[in-house]
Structure 1
Amino acid sequence: MENTYLLSVIKQLNYFKSLADQTFERLTDEELNWQFSKEINSIATIAKHISGNMLSRWTNMFTEDGEKIWRERDTEFEHEFLSKDNLKSIWKKGWDCFFEAINALTDEDLERIIHIRNEPHRVVDAINRQMAHYPYHIGQIVLIGIQIKGADWQSLSIPKGASDSFNEAKFKDAKS
């Protein structure tokens, strides 16, 4: 794959995926299933939804609508207790489907029309739609993890109060 846009999509979404992966690793089964209230989804529920979306959108995207008849979106939001191993298996299945579809695309494919809920989208627009959707939910996953761990949370980026030392280390070396 030589397309810089697709390479950027893969790089960016691998980064966001890694934030969720690191959050999963820091939490117990009970914490992954914790809900602040019945109206707010648990990390497990959010991850289940992202995976369901990926499987629906990226399976047979050129021959079937992106909202598959077999998808039961509403059940993705039903709270069910998932072990960390089960959650990671569901998560992996969705991401594998997404990356397999993206890696198979050609430059010409980006202008092809696919349908999501019977609405036409250029492939590039469908990708952009997901580039907003997945990080939105991953931000929720990380925020819930921070709320659960409180002071025991270790930052996934630059910790509060450490910007100057971080930048000093980054700018010590010549540009690459």
Structure 2
Amino acid sequence: METRELYLSSVIKQMHYYKTVGEKAMDQLEPEQLFIVTNDDSNSISSIVKHLCGNMLSRWTNFLTSDGEKEWRERDAEFETSITSKEDVLALWDKGWDCFFQAIESLNPEDLSKIIYIRNEGQTAIDAINRQVAHYPYHIGQIVFYAKQLKNSDWESLSIPKNKSNK
């Protein structure tokens, strides 16, 4: 397998991992906990999911042929509370990830060197992918941290539990 194919395979594998981590964190919460906001400068988990979905739809719809910041995207609205059920949160989660994976899985290795645009700024497709490979886990880390805080002592670790590394 050539290096570019390995890269795309690695991106897909890593992003499936992070998607699963986010899902496992949200699965531990009561539905109402997805909507908790601790202060005016924070976002609820539902808002983070809404933002991820908006970003994914904007960036990955027609990835190679249109600007990644679509005219129809309303980024500021992604941080407003407008969804009210866990089912709606998970539907947005899946919608965004489906768009992402369909776009990534449709790429050919030679597409990685093509110039694409985000906010009229040209960059290679591989740079645009790397940008999102950093962006999405950042927000998933927020989801995990927030979920862990909300669950407190009822949290089930998503990796090696604290003080269990040597067991």
| Range of TM-score over shorter length | over 0.9
TM-score, length of structure 2 as denominator length: 0.96
Q: Does 1:141 align with 2:143?
A: yes
- Seen in structure 2, the aligned counterparts of structure 1 residues 38 and 80 have a Cα distance that, compared at 3 Å, is farther
1:78 matched to which residue of 2? 80
1:67 matched to which residue of 2? 69
Are 2:52 and 2:136, in contact at CA under 8 Å, matched by a contact in 1?
Answer: yes
How big is the shift at 1:34?
A: 0.6
Q: Secondary structure of 1:64's match?
A: coil
Q: Does 1:18 align with 2:20?
A: yes
1:38 matched to which residue of 2? 40
How big is the shift at 1:121?
A: 1.1
C-alpha separation in 1, matches of 2:87 and 2:24: 14
Max Rg structure: 1
C-alpha separation in 1, matches of 2:30 and 2:88: 13
Are 1:56 and 1:71, in contact at CA under 8 Å, matched by a contact in 2?
Answer: yes
How big is the shift at 1:53?
A: 0.2
Q: Secondary structure of 1:161's match?
A: coil
2:114 matched to which residue of 1? 112
1:170 matched to which residue of 2? none
How big is the shift at 1:104?
A: 0.5
How big is the shift at 1:28?
A: 1.6
Question: Which structure would you say has the larger RCO, counting Cα contacts within 8 Å and 6 or more residues apart?
Answer: 2
Equivalent AA in structure 2 for residue 124 of structure 1: I
2:92 matched to which residue of 1? 90
1:29 matched to which residue of 2? 31
2:130 matched to which residue of 1? 128
C-alpha separation in 2, matches of 1:44 and 1:108: 36
Give structure 1 stretches of 5+ with no counterpart: 166-176
Are 2:83 and 2:89, in contact at CA under 8 Å, matched by a contact in 1?
Answer: no
Are 1:29 and 1:84, in contact at CA under 8 Å, matched by a contact in 2?
Answer: yes
How big is the shift at 1:79?
A: 2.4
TM-score, length of structure 1 as denominator length: 0.91
C-alpha separation in 2, matches of 1:81 and 1:54: 18
- Seen in structure 2, the aligned counterparts of structure 1 residues 38 and 79 have a Cα distance that, compared at 3 Å, is farther
Could you list the per-position Cα deviations for residues 58-102 of structure 1 after superposition, in whole angstroms to 9, with x for gaps in the alignment?
Answer: 001122100000000000011234311110101100000000000
Are 1:45 and 1:76, in contact at CA under 8 Å, matched by a contact in 2?
Answer: yes
Q: Percent identity?
A: 56
